[in-house]
Structure 1
């Protein structure tokens, strides 16, 4: 299974807060979930690193994007076609590539090529998942993990709520995440003189398979994903590294970790369900959803994406399964008035080769997220990686022949599967006009060269006044 790694080769006016968001690199908003690569990229001091990792407010990075001007001239369709069409025909992109460029201020399509076509999106799917979960749960929502009393004295039931960031490592992979040991302390205090004797884990919140349709055989073992379950720690990781191996049964491991924190032997851990009306003994909550969404986009975290898709299903009273999440997200998109022609997602991560969506849907989401009445979606912008600076774009746009002129100017979500390369995001062009774009190629034969070719297209868009 290919990994989404850094590699080389609205129709309403924009509000002031969004202008600031586009002008500055808003990685301050991801302070809770900053990874080592992003920390290093910022050049923080030792004390600043410690402050960042502790979840306190980090130093605000300098502006790198040109100021956005809604009065700036809009590129013409002919101008964009002259600038982009030759680059989109690059051999590295293969025989089939689709494109959509939208003016963010007006929502007007100003360049397209099969923009409604159903394409395999790879990880650009995560833009759709981000929009759907933010629109339903809201950016301030926190995912709970609860423990209730079991049927017998000393029995406790840990009830999975779908928080994949629940922490057990001394240094959590997702800083700011709720901790298993804090939950255990609450339970011990609530039990008082009654010693815990058995841990039951309840994973009934989710249904269906834990692996998605169309996933490659190594999807849950190759370090890029895990079995999707409502109870897990550290995204299922065995170590606090991005591409760590994952537990084959993340729910069992999480229950055993909780038992250990309680002083209960792992032999006294069993699957079950919480008794109706059981007394709550403890509860912890995840970081705000906005932070989780930001990290998902920055790091292209597949487990976070599929867990968040389940939250959309729960919010829409659908089964919390791959099928339920897919139906729920489509329902949300239709309710928002977004174009769902070509929609055929089967997961929330883009891990599946069966996924389909259109470039027009991606640019439609990005334009909507810029509207003054959709502040709930603004997190999408602060989560997008920045060219040559952060996330999965940190090591791209570094060379002159690979689009380095657009370093710091392109904010975009990458997408990579074998034979599939995509890029979707926003850019402020040379005239100060903010544009949303999506470029998707589904018949590439050299992934490294395809990445460079896409970066050149986005760089041309950034450099273009194109009138």
Structure 2
């Protein structure tokens, strides 16, 4: 990947811990006035003290200083030595890079293929940023069927449609089933039966290395090209059990809303040239990527992988999505040696990625300039962010330690020095834990990292990984 020597200094924005607290507390008001009441008994009366002067919330989100000294290999080795030997890390592999120069500063088995768990989503989102516009949307349609009274719900690969009465489903900005219903009724179309056309996807809807118990556990649904709230039985609950037949479930919910017997719903194919009766669009790709990354949503990530496949002429299947992702990354100059993926979410225990590759993607996102990636991307350079790389938006897709998404409940007790400073994609399976992201060290220098642990349960390995990230934050390693 070209462009290791930066042509201009990056000014990556980092959320500092104190600023994070101020922003969260003062989000709805710029000026806060506190009015304590004090009691003084004077001749049996009550005196109320005057209120104190107003306190103004001062945001503390500032760019990383351009003059910050770079960490050294020896300095990092000294800082990480006490924590990387922890046996709780199990089989441990890692890579740490200076985010300004792209210089690799510390590694341990960085070329070793590791089970990535959900950090595998980084590959999918990177491919999406390389080949699709940030405002790309999917359109779900309803058309007239070939039989009298039949309509066909034509899936487009969007699992976010909601049937919530108020239209506010699990996914922000998702299309509404009620809008489809209103449009269908406005046509005056008689509806006696519904077919659901899932032909946009190919192959099986369950990947190698997935566990069917994860359907009831709420981690995944069979990957149909249309779902209601990601196939959740309880639409607003993140880890709700999922339905076994998401596409048919969507058809049945549409039937119920139209007053049609749900027993009259089946799979089928839309006739060529059918009259369109209704259509709704997904949220923009950038919003769906954010949701998939911050909350580690497997269904959303798999759907985005198929979206990448369709955009690049590949079959919209697990294999096609994996191939499309690899092709996009390779065209952008990434070394894919050691990569082997069965899915787009990292849920498969058969997935393997070397930490070198994951760290390199984050480094390219953070570098001040990356002409090679730009040249191989269809994304408008004017919309790629301040560093000029199409991958730069990924920096904002990462959870914040101790504050958001899958990192909200970490770094709150142990390793709390890193809270608000580390931004990283998490990965958690019974056999794998990982962190891939970036942090501002004590000298004010951005470090990108990929930390991967296999062969330990997450309740053991995650605190050990957090300790490594905490050491990076506390490193004054120049």
In 2, Cα distance between the equivalents of 1:109 and 1:420? 24
The answer for unaligned runs of 5 or more in structure 1 is: 1-9, 29-37, 48-60
1:140-168 Cα shifts (integer Å, max 9, x gaps): 11121111221234321111111111111
**Aligned counterpart for 1:197 among listed residues 178, 192, 196:** 192
Q: Name the counterpart of 1:341.
A: 337
Q: Tell me whether 1:215 sits opposite 2:230 in the alignment.
A: no
Q: 1:309 to 1:177 in 2, by over 3 A?
A: same
Secondary structure at the aligned position of 1:426 is classed as strand
Give the alignment of 1:386-405 within 5 angstroms. 386-399=400-413, 402-405=414-417
Given that 1:65 and 1:409 are in contact with CA atoms closer than 8 Å, whether structure 2 keeps it comes out as no
In 2, Cα distance between the equivalents of 1:299 and 1:386? 11
The structural deviation recorded for 1:414 is 1.0
The structural deviation recorded for 1:63 is 5.2
Give the alignment of 1:127-166 within 5 angstroms. 127-166=122-161
Q: Name the counterpart of 1:179.
A: 176
Q: 1:281 to 1:62 in 2, by over 3 A?
A: farther
**Aligned counterpart for 1:418 among listed residues 394, 406, 430:** 430
1:401-424 Cα shifts (integer Å, max 9, x gaps): x21111100000111111311111
Q: 1:175 to 1:347 in 2, by over 3 A?
A: same
The structural deviation recorded for 1:91 is 1.3
Q: Name the counterpart of 1:407.
A: 419
Q: Tell me whether 1:377 sits opposite 2:391 in the alignment.
A: yes
Question: How many positions carry a matched residue from both structures?
Answer: 426
Secondary structure at the aligned position of 1:414 is classed as strand
In 2, Cα distance between the equivalents of 1:45 and 1:105? 31
**Aligned counterpart for 2:450 among listed residues 438, 455, 458:** 438
Q: Name the counterpart of 2:373.
A: none
**Aligned counterpart for 2:82 among listed residues 70, 80, 86:** 86
Given that 1:260 and 1:266 are in contact with CA atoms closer than 8 Å, whether structure 2 keeps it comes out as yes
Q: Tell me whether 1:118 sits opposite 2:113 in the alignment.
A: yes
The structural deviation recorded for 1:377 is 2.7
1:100-141 Cα shifts (integer Å, max 9, x gaps): 111222222111112121110011111111111222222211
In 2, Cα distance between the equivalents of 1:45 and 1:223? 32
Q: Tell me whether 1:450 sits opposite 2:448 in the alignment.
A: no
Given that 1:212 and 1:347 are in contact with CA atoms closer than 8 Å, whether structure 2 keeps it comes out as yes
Which structure features the higher share of helix residues? 1
The structural deviation recorded for 1:43 is 5.2
Q: Name the counterpart of 1:285.
A: 281
In 1, Cα distance between the equivalents of 2:181 and 2:124? 32
Given that 1:293 and 1:379 are in contact with CA atoms closer than 8 Å, whether structure 2 keeps it comes out as no
TM-score w.r.t. length of structure 1 = 0.86
1:302-325 Cα shifts (integer Å, max 9, x gaps): 111111111111112111111111
The structural deviation recorded for 1:86 is 2.8
Q: 1:43 to 1:178 in 2, by over 3 A?
A: farther
Given that 1:387 and 1:406 are in contact with CA atoms closer than 8 Å, whether structure 2 keeps it comes out as yes
Q: Tell me whether 1:320 sits opposite 2:316 in the alignment.
A: yes
The structural deviation recorded for 1:70 is 3.6
In 2, Cα distance between the equivalents of 1:323 and 1:63? 46
Q: Name the counterpart of 1:225.
A: 220
Given that 1:70 and 1:105 are in contact with CA atoms closer than 8 Å, whether structure 2 keeps it comes out as no
1:357-410 Cα shifts (integer Å, max 9, x gaps): 1111111111222345554433322221111111111111122xx211111000
In 2, Cα distance between the equivalents of 1:283 and 1:13? 46
In 2, Cα distance between the equivalents of 1:63 and 1:453? 32
Q: Which has the higher contact order (CA 8 A, sep 6+)?
A: 1
Given that 2:15 and 2:421 are in contact with CA atoms closer than 8 Å, whether structure 1 keeps it comes out as no
Given that 2:434 and 2:451 are in contact with CA atoms closer than 8 Å, whether structure 1 keeps it comes out as yes
The answer for unaligned runs of 5 or more in structure 2 is: 30-56, 370-380
In 2, Cα distance between the equivalents of 1:64 and 1:219? 41
Q: 1:282 to 1:377 in 2, by over 3 A?
A: farther
The structural deviation recorded for 1:203 is 0.3
The structural deviation recorded for 1:433 is 1.1
In 1, Cα distance between the equivalents of 2:391 and 2:161? 24
Secondary structure at the aligned position of 2:159 is classed as coil
Q: 1:339 to 1:127 in 2, by over 3 A?
A: same
TM-score w.r.t. length of structure 2 = 0.84
